[in-house]
Amino acid sequence: MRLSTRGQYETRALLDLALHWGEEPVPLKDIAQRQQISIHYLEHLITPLIAAGIVRSTRGARGGVCLVRPPHEVRLSEVIQLLEGSIAPVECVNNPRICSRS
């Protein structure tokens, strides 16, 4: 499976958050700098993760983002599906009723 640039950047951002699990929220600018991702692009990548409850955002002087669950409970497949859509090789995997031979 090939990941789009968006998927690759999202994976790198999540890895960065996993490495800082249990610490204070991580400012997006720090993730952007460490992962060499535009801060504006990173903001767009994080938004769906916040909406899905994978990442939590905290405002204020010590604000930033952090994983809601421990890193070992976050499945990369759920994140890729959230950003890229289904990762199934054929539609029958997601909906067996649409295929006559499923």
Number of domains in the chain: 1
What is the DSSP code (8-state) at residue 96? Answer: G
Q: What average pLDDT score do residues 14-43 get?
A: 94
Residues 68-85 have pLDDT tens digits of 999 999 988 888 887 776
Q: Which residue has the higher pLDDT, 97 or 22?
A: 22
Q: What is the pLDDT of residue 35?
A: 94
What per-residue string of b and e applies to 11-37 under the rule 16 or more CB within 10 Å gives b? bbbbebbeebeeeebbebeebbeeeeb
CA distance 41 to 47: 10
pTM equals: 0.78
Decide if pLDDT at 21 tops 90. yes
For residue 10, the enclosing domain spans 5-98
Place of tokens 């890193």: 71
CATH code for the domain of 22: 1.10.10.10
